[in-house]
A = this chain, B = another copy of it.
Amino acid sequence: MPTENDPRFLRSREAILHAARDLLLERGPAAVTHVQVAERAAVGRATVYRHWPRAELLLMEAMATVPMPFFSDPTVPTRDWLRRELTAIARQLDLDDVRAVSTTLAGTALWDTDMDARRAQFAGVLTDRLAAALDGAQTRGEITLAIPSRDAAALAIGPMYYRSTIEHSPTGTNLIEATIEALGTWSTASSPRQ
């Protein structure tokens, strides 16, 4: 039997993860079962079980292959940085796979403790990063916040999340600008939209 250092073990792990991701994107999280993943990856079912004894852990790992690098490394002017970050998130949410991941995360978290921890961690990172960036901007006199900075993630990401997952439409520049304006009063020295 291959062991963890065996190249065959690593190759089959890679193939299984790839198959799981494809099934997630094509047919949703319910399709990520041991049987269907084994078939798609062209490996034995026992091999899938050996790597991931629980299908939901495989699903979670497949979901984690979609990176969420948002709101890291804020730059000044904050308004420009924020516009770039929100536009990047909006473009991600246009993708079916990101839609599938975010709705699966939100849905599965309601009855799965591991997934709920992942949801909380994901939400917490976004809230913390954006709050820190906006607190810094306020300290520098770039903005007078209209809300507690920890409400900013919901206020800024919420509309595009709803637009993507409920309305299934792309988020345009207008909606992004409206959420940026909703955060507070930007100083005239900070760059308005070009």
Contacts and interface: CB of A to CB of B under 8 A. Distances in A.
B151 A174 contact: yes
A15 B123 CA distance: 38
> 10 tightest A-B contacts by CB?
A182-B182, A158-B162, A158-B159, A158-B158, A103-B107, A28-B111, A106-B165, A103-B106, A154-B159, A154-B163
A160 B154 CA distance: 7
A127 interface: yes
Contacts of A99: 106, 110
B111 A27 contact: yes
A181 interface: yes
A28 B110 contact: yes
A84 to B, nearest CB: 20
Interface residues of A, number: 50
Interface in A128-153: 146-148, 151, 153
A35 interface: no
A179 B155 contact: yes
A3 to B, nearest CB: 23
Given A123-B166, A146-B178, A167-B154, A107 B159 contact: no
Contacts of A106: 99, 103, 106-107, 165-166
Contacts of A181: 146, 182
Interface string A8-34: 000000000000000000111101000
Contacts of A39: none
A183 to B, nearest CB: 8
Contacts of A148: 174
Contacts of A167: 123, 127, 153-154
A175 interface: yes
